[in-house]
Amino acid sequence: MQSGRKRFLLLYALITGLAITCCSQATPGPTNGTGWTLVWSDEFNGPNGSPMDRSKWVPETGGDGWGNHELEYYTDRIENASFHDGNLVVKAISEKYTGPDGVTRNYTSARLKTLGKFSQTYGRFEARIKIPYRQGMWPAFWMLGDDIEKVGWPACGEIDIMENIGKEPAIVHGSIHGPGYIGDTGIEAPYKLPAKSFADDFHIFAVEWDADSVSFYVDQNLYVRRTRADLQPGWKWVFDKPFFLILNLAVGGDWPGNPDSSTVFPQSMLVDYVLVYQRSATPTKIDVEKR
């Protein structure tokens, strides 16, 4: 009996230790070293069917095309944005919908921002996301300067941490935009997944941003770093002020094109968490070179 009990306790300790190890490995955080302090987060752990935390997010609504001839109407409904199994589910639905402004669209979705709730200058901004895959889908995790209502776009600046168009299931794009470098002249770089598609699993999309550069990551992979040297004469570096976060799932538009007969609805973007860090100490030139 005593010997059997010891074996049981040893086995229990081994299993418990493995569980603790697995949990610690799964804890979200920077994948490329220490020196960061978590300053803002949302891990979307509310009960299934509950809405976003309005102390952190503001829903944007409307169906005016959002400057890209998009087809969706962004609503403030749990049908388009709610929690499920520890994720924020941003859902695009094929349905005829008329908003309070009288605009009617054939699709609905959600667009959430932190403007007025949270913004930050410099740091690491990351999210763990599983994106959808079909023609005409356009999921994005991005940032805008929080002076947008004063100076407009593109003077406010834009950092696209992750964009994907559904016809490119294995490719995401990271880019920066500002005065002079918008649309086709935006400073953009693709990252191609070595195998499968981004819709097959969750991936971490992040930028590390400091006074002179914006570095783009997928999982542990740094795939491009943008600096002031990338700007052409006459262009202005506008990444020296607070930016706020945006999550959205667009339908159609100039870049992805419209859905077709292969596009099955609803389509969902699942967000496991969004985390924002700041450097524990002001990075030196040596720190930047190491990164």
Residue in 167, 156, 155, 160 with CA at minimum distance from that of residue 143: 160
Contact 199, 131 (CB under 8 A): yes
Residue 10 CB neighbour total at 10 angstroms: 10
257: left (phi over 0), alpha (psi -120 to 50) or beta: left
Three-state secondary-structure class, residue 103: coil
Residue in 132, 79, 84 with CA at minimum distance from that of residue 269: 132
Residues identified as active-site:
158, 163
Contact 45, 82 (CB under 8 A): no
Q: Round the CA-based radius of gyration of the chain to a whole number and report it.
A: 21
